[in-house]
Structure 1
Amino acid sequence: MLPLSEPRDFPPRIVTGAFILNSGLGKLKADEATQQGLHGMACTAYPFLKKLEPDRFTRLLAWSEITVGSSLLVPFVPTRLAGLALTGFSGGLVGLYLRVPGMREPGSLRPTQDGVPLAKDSWMLGMGLGFLGAGARRGCAASHRCRRHRRCAH
């Protein structure tokens, strides 16, 4: 069973969740030009997305963001589960940064001015990976019963 969230997880979950949720809600109202732009950039990085129409892609992206953002904001969703969603989502965004031409300086991971908005998604990937380790058992120095783990068999 996954442990529920700990108080230390709330600040990054709230800030990141609100940011992603807001982005998804905004995409639900995207005009045709925005849909074309989002779809075009995504297809550059992930050619299989060309099979989707821009409006369908944008709706799917919006609902994905709403789902990930909500999972971070709802406290009864375990942090590790929310971290899994955030890691998957932000991993795709980092892939976009790495694959779209002009986002990075030649031969480097350093972002160009155009790449800065996508490079910041690496922070969300780091948070997601950190959340995946939330609640993981840590070994005790003694192999006796302790209050924290009830019974340590480390």
Structure 2
Amino acid sequence: MHPTHVPLRVLTGAYILNSGINKLKTGTEEQEQMHGWASGVYPIFKDLKPGEFTKLLAYSEIGLGAALLIPKVPSAVAGAGLAGFGAALTGLYLNTPGMTQDDGIRPTAEGTGLAKDVWLVGAGLTLAMQSFLSGTKSAAKNVVGGVTGAAGAVAGGVTGAASSVGHGITDVFSSGSTKSKSGVSGLIGSAMSTAHDKREDLADALADLADSLVRR
């Protein structure tokens, strides 16, 4: 959990968790009222009894509240759940008769209680988007670092090989005709050894790049 997400997640999570716990204590009349509102907008709940629907809603809120409060739950996951829950409540507000004014958006006195739940959508999207953008930025840094390392390994390999060849040629000509044979052998051996070492450095750098991409 990023430190900047703590206030939003703690306050929102505590609110939703408490709401879910309180729903487990509701009476028959309240359960029937909540079930009637929800099933009128979302027909999938019509087959559930009022008590069953209330428990489902209560446990959903308890689970979502706990996810927001637990630091190990990624903000992207908690935020997506919060946005989805808020969107469901917003749909209930917009599609329930008498909740909105003639424009279909502004709440009536009866709809104010449901209209305020739109803040859950904004809070959830904020958590999810910030988490996603932060992860994208980190991945981009890893890619740049990996590419830079690979390019450095290639440049180092080419420079090292060229330097070894140059030194070998210098040694051949400086040793005279009697040592030309051994100078050529030393040149070939040195160049092959350097090329092998640099090739291993390049392979290691590319492996590190691939590993960083997979981890993201």
Q: TM-score, normalised by structure 1?
A: 0.86
Determine the structure 2 residue equivalent to 1:12.
8
Question: How is 1:69-84 mapped onto 2 (pairs within 5 angstroms)?
Answer: 69-84=65-80
Per-residue deviation, 1:48: 2.3
- Alpha-carbon distance in 2 for matches of 1:113, 1:68: 28
What is the alpha-carbon distance in structure 1 between the residues aligned to residue 23 and residue 58 of structure 2? 5
CA distance in 2 between counterparts of 1:120 and 1:18 reads: 17
2:144 equivalent in structure 1:
152
Match of 1:86 in 2: 82
CA RMSD of aligned residues (A): 1.9
Partner residue of 1:111 out of 107, 111, 114: 107
When Rg is computed on C-alpha atoms for both structures, the one with the higher figure is: 2
Equivalent position SS for 2:130: coil
Greater Cα shift, 104-113 or 50-59: 104-113
Q: Which has the higher contact order (CA 8 A, sep 6+)?
A: 1
Q: CA deviation at 1:45?
A: 1.2
> 2-side partners of 1:60 and 1:44: how far apart?
17
How much identity, in percent, do the aligned residues show? 43
Q: What is the aligned counterpart of 1:29 among 13, 25, 49?
A: 25
Please give the TM-score of this superposition, normalised by the length of structure 2. 0.62
CA distance in structure 1 between the partners assigned to 2:144 and 2:30 by the alignment:
55
Q: Are the equivalent residues in 1 in contact too, given 2:94–2:104 (CA < 8 A)?
A: no
How far apart, CA to CA, are the structure 2 residues paired with 1:131 and 1:149? 21
Residue 83 of structure 1, CA deviation: 0.6
**Contact 2:12-2:65 within 8 A present in 1 as well:** yes
| Structure showing the higher helix proportion among its residues | 2
- Aligned counterpart in structure 1 of residue 35 of structure 2, from 29, 32, 39: 39
> 1:135: Cα distance to partner?
2.5
Which of 59, 62, 71 does residue 66 from structure 1 map onto? 62
Of 119, 126, 141 in structure 2, the residue corresponding to residue 123 of structure 1 is 119
Alignment coverage as a number of residue pairs: 143
CA offset at residue 149 of structure 1?
A: 2.8
User: In 2, distance between residues paired with 1:135 and 1:152?
Assistant: 20
| Conserved 8 A contact 2:76-2:132 | no
